[in-house]
Structure 1
């Protein structure tokens, strides 16, 4: 059985995969599904691997985005279809801009504290 391995090393067993946009796993019950699905975080989707049942890596992916999937209850368990896609260049650029803005906001706040202390007659 193929495996989808998340950044935190969580391995999700897959039925015959059709690609990132349609990967199906089977959970024995809702409790198992409830422990699996929260692991599909942006952090865990930042670097993933797909391996064959023999352990051969057939895909390495970075910066994936989770899309709405689907589920179906069958006799052998709950079939959950996970749908992923790679982030677009625009999404990656926006994340970089936001990260840079946070750094800049922190520097401005630090500078404001220094100016405030100097204005009160203090020293730095």
Structure 2
């Protein structure tokens, strides 16, 4: 039987044992070393676009702007079971991201303007 998959923005594929909801995505690793090769990829950038496929490889859901929440883990005889918990960003979080992005643009423009004014004061720009 084929397993469901979660595909992150960078193309990383995580095989899922269970995927009943975004808050309960369980995957199995042979040990902590194997988990350490995948779990650090659950970054804000990689969670900005996520696809979940069913066992036949058909799209079960596309998600954007996900946030990693505390999950759980359990060691069993057949492997390390890690339950990943995700949620969609709230409207407030999305607005804050937009404000921060706009602030970076504004900071860059102010810096450029400051350089130009400085050059004008030195007489190098007419």
Report the TM-score range of the alignment, normalised by the length of the smaller protein. over 0.9
User: TM-score, normalization: structure 1?
Assistant: 0.96
Q: Deviations over 1:37-84 (max 9, x none)?
A: 111011111111111111111111010000011111001110000000
- The residue number in structure 1 matching 2:56 is 54
Measure the CA separation in 2 of the matches of 1:44 and 1:15.
Answer: 20
User: TM-score, normalization: structure 2?
Assistant: 0.95
CA RMSD, aligned part only? 0.9
Moved over 4 A (4+): none
Q: Runs of 5+ in structure 1 lacking a partner? A: none
Q: Runs of 5+ in structure 2 lacking a partner? A: none
Counterparts in 2 of 1:6-85, with a 5 A limit?
A: 6-85=8-87
Aligned residues: 124
